[in-house]
Structure 1
Amino acid sequence: MQILYTALLIIIGILLFGFVVFFHELGHFLMAKLSGIRVNEFAVGMGPKLFGFQRGETQYALRLFPIGGFCAMEGEDEESSDERAFGNKPVWRRFLVVVAGGIFNIILGFILMILVLAPQETFATTTFSKFTENSATEAAGARAGDRIVEINGYAVYTDRDLSFAMALADPKAVHMTVERDGVRVELNEFAMHTRVLEDGSEAPALDFYVMPEQRSFSGVLRRAGTDTFSMARMVVESLKGLLTGRFGLNEIAGPVGTAQAISQAAGAGLSQGFGQAVSNIVFMMIMITVNLGIINLLPLPALDGGRLLFLIWEGVTRRPVPAKYEGYVHAAGFMLLIGLMVLITFHDIWRIVTG
C-alpha cells in the first residue's frame, strides 16, 4: 500500500508540475486573445499530438507529455503581414502578453497558498511569546512581545522570512532588530546555539517561541499574499547568492532533482497521512510556480524577460530590433539554457546516485 501511495503521489506531482507550466502559457494565451493577437495553436502538453480540434482561428491540442504546453502566436518569431500578428501590435500590448505568463505563475502561487493555509487552525507570527532556558536571544535583550523586523539585514514579515533569514545567518554573529511598543530596537550582536545539518555544517538553533495567530477568512487571504511575496523574495535572494558565489551547484535542482524533492516531500507527508502528503506536494508546487514566474521575467535571452528587454528598447527608440537578429539572440540563449539544464540534470543524477 505504501508503494501504491508513493507512486500515486509522484504521478500527482508530475501532473501538478505540468499544470504549473500550462498555467504560465495560459497567461500568454488569455492576454493575447484580449489584445486581439491571432493565436494559431494552444496546446496542453508537449511532444506528439494525441488529438485536437479547431475553434475559430485557433487549434486546441492535447499532446503526449504532460509537462506544460505552449501558445503559438502569429508573427511571434517571424515577420507576418497579418494585422493581428504579435509583431504588428503596439509595444504596450506585446509587453502585457509577454509579462502575463510570469504574473499568472505568481497568481497561481497565491491561489495554491490559500489552499494550503485554509485548513490550518493557527499561523505562526514573528512575535516572541517565550524563550527556552539559557536563550541567547533573550540574553541579547529580546523580550516577550517583541516583533522581529530584521535579521542580519534581511527584512522579516512572516515566519517564512524568519526561517529563511535564520538559515542564511552566521550563527556566531546574529544581528536582530525588533519592534517594541512601536519603536525599533537593535539587539546586541550575539552568537546563537547551533545544530548540525546533514552536510556537517552548522545552523542557528531557535531558542524562542512565537505567538500564534488564529485563523480567519481575511487572515488567510492576507497570509497567502504575504507568504507568496516572501517566496518571491527568497527566489531573488537565492539568485543573488548564486551570482555572488554564496550558493553553489548543490543548491540548484533541475527536473530530476525537483521530482526527487517532490517524492521526498510526499514520503515525509505519508507518515502523517495521505492528505498531508498532498499538502506537501502542493506546497512544493507553490515554490516551483513562484520560482518559474520570477526567473522567467529575468532579462535573459530565450526567457520572457529577454523579450521584454527588446520591447523596452523598441518603446524607447521607436525602432524595433530586426526579427532575425532578435531570433539569433534568443536561439543562442536557448542553446545556453539547454546546456545549463543538461549540466544540472547530470548533477542531479550524480547527487542521487552518490547519495
Structure 2
Amino acid sequence: MIFLIIIGVLLFCLSIIIHEAGHFFTAKACGIRVDEFSIGMGPRLAHFHKGETDYSIRLLPIGGFCSMPGEDGQDEDGKPCTDPRAFCNKPKWQRFLVLVMGATMNIVLGLVLMAILLGQETAFTSTTISKFSSNSALQSAGIQAGDRFTNINGYKIHTDKDLTFALALANPDSVNFQVNRNGKTVEFNNVKLKTVTGTNGKKLTQLDFYVQPIQKNPLTLVQKTFSDTVSVVRQVWASLAGLVTGRFGLNDMTGPVGLVQVISQSASAGLQQSFLAAVNNIVYVIMIITVNLGIVNLLPIPALDGGKILFLLIEAIRRKPLNPKYAAIVESAFFALLLAFMAIVAVSDVMRITTGHGIGG
C-alpha cells in the first residue's frame, strides 16, 4: 500500500513539474531569462545551479513556480525593469504563451493519462441503453432500449462519464431525463430511481440499465480520449459553479493532505481486484487532479496564471501596463487569501481524516 501511495504522490508531483515545465521551456524559447525553477513552495530543501537558472525543491508540495525577472514590471529594486530578456519587455503574445502553457501542459498530461487508461479497455462505454435489469425504474418510466441519454437535470450528456456525474449529483427521488429516440428528443420528468444506502448513510442511485459498447480501434481510442477529458473539464467547471452557489462546501473539497487519503482509498478499492486496478485508480485520480490544476490556474484570479493573463489583456486594451505598484498589491493580497484558503482546506482535510467530518460537514 505504501508503494502505491508513493506512486500517487510522484504522479501528483509530475503534474506540478509538467505545469512549471510548460512555463519554463516556453520562456526559454521566447528568450526570457529564468532565474529559478522550483517544485514546491516554502523553505528550500535542495537546489543546484546550471547555466543561468537555479533548480530547487521546496518543503510544501502545494505547487511550484518559474521565476522570471520583470514579471511584475519591476526589477529587484522596485525600479522599471530594463533587462531586454525580462518577462515584461517581451511582446504580449510571447508573454501570453508563457502564461498559458502551464495549464496547457496539464491538460496534455491529462490526455496522456486518459489514453493510458482507455488503452487497457477491450471496448468503450456509450450512453445508449441496450437493456434493463428486472423491475427497472427507468423502464417503468417509459424509457426504452435504444434511447440515448442527452440531458439529465439540465446537464448535457455526451459521454458515459457525463452520465455517471449527472446521476451522482441528482436527487434520486426526482430526476428529469432527456433522451434521443430515433432522432427526436423525448423527455421524462420527475423519475424516481432505485437507491441503496451508502456507508455515510446517504442514498445513492442504483443503476438498473445497461448501455451498448463502442468498438475499440485507434480512431475510437483517440475520440474517446478527447471526449472523456473534455467531460472531466466540464465536471471541474460544474464543481466550481457548485462551490460558488453553495451546492458544495469545504467538506466536499480536498487539498494536499486529503490527497494522500484519496490515493489510499483508491488504491485499497483497486487492490480488491488486482494491483493493476489499484494503479489505474490512482492514475485516474491524478488525471482528474492535473486537469483541475490546469483549469483552475486559468481562472481570472490575481496570483494565478489566469489573473496574470487578465492583467495582460487589460494592458493590451489600455495600451499601457498597469501600475506595477498597484498590480503587486492586488496580487499579494490575493496570494495571501489563496494561502489562507489552502490552510483552511488542509485543516478540513485533517478533521475529516481524524473525525470523519471536515469544516462545514
TM-score normalised to structure 1 length: 0.93
Aligned to 2:148: 147
Distance 1:44 1:300 in 2: 22
Q: Does the 8 A contact of 1:18 with 1:66 survive in 2?
A: no
How far residue 275 of structure 1 moved from its aligned partner, in angstroms, is 1.6
State the AA in 2 paired with 1:48: R
Distance 2:273 2:194 in 1: 30
How far residue 324 of structure 1 moved from its aligned partner, in angstroms, is 2.0
Q: Does the 8 A contact of 1:22 with 1:70 survive in 2?
A: no
The answer to whether 1:59 aligns with 2:50 is no
| Structure 1 residues 306-321: aligned runs within 5 Å | 306-321=307-322
Q: List gaps (5 residues or longer) in structure 1.
A: 1-5
Distance 1:18 1:321 in 2: 34
How far residue 327 of structure 1 moved from its aligned partner, in angstroms, is 1.1
Aligned to 2:353: 352
Q: Deviations over 1:4-35 (max 9, x none)?
A: xx111111111111111111111111221222
Percent identity for Structure 1 against Structure 2: 48
Aligned to 1:190: 191
TM-score normalised to structure 2 length: 0.92
| Structure 1 residues 123-162: aligned runs within 5 Å | 123-162=124-163
Distance 1:196 1:149 in 2: 27
Distance 1:11 1:65 in 2: 17
* Residue from 14, 37, 40 that aligns with 2:32: 37
Distance 1:239 1:205 in 2: 26
How far residue 51 of structure 1 moved from its aligned partner, in angstroms, is 4.4
Distance 2:196 2:320 in 1: 58
How far residue 62 of structure 1 moved from its aligned partner, in angstroms, is 4.6
Secondary structure, aligned partner of 2:211:
strand
Q: List gaps (5 residues or longer) in structure 2.
A: 75-80, 357-361
Secondary structure, aligned partner of 1:84:
coil
Aligned to 1:207: 208
The answer to whether 1:225 aligns with 2:226 is yes
The answer to whether 1:17 aligns with 2:18 is no
Q: How many residues align?
A: 348
The answer to whether 1:7 aligns with 2:2 is yes
| Structure 1 residues 69-148: aligned runs within 5 Å | 69-79=64-74, 80-148=81-149
State the AA in 2 paired with 1:269: G
State the AA in 2 paired with 1:195: V
Q: Does the 8 A contact of 2:303 with 2:331 survive in 1?
A: yes
Q: Deviations over 1:190-236 (max 9, x none)?
A: 21122222332223221111111222112111111111100110010
Secondary structure, aligned partner of 1:39:
coil
Aligned to 2:21: 26
The answer to whether 1:250 aligns with 2:245 is no
Distance 2:6 2:67 in 1: 28
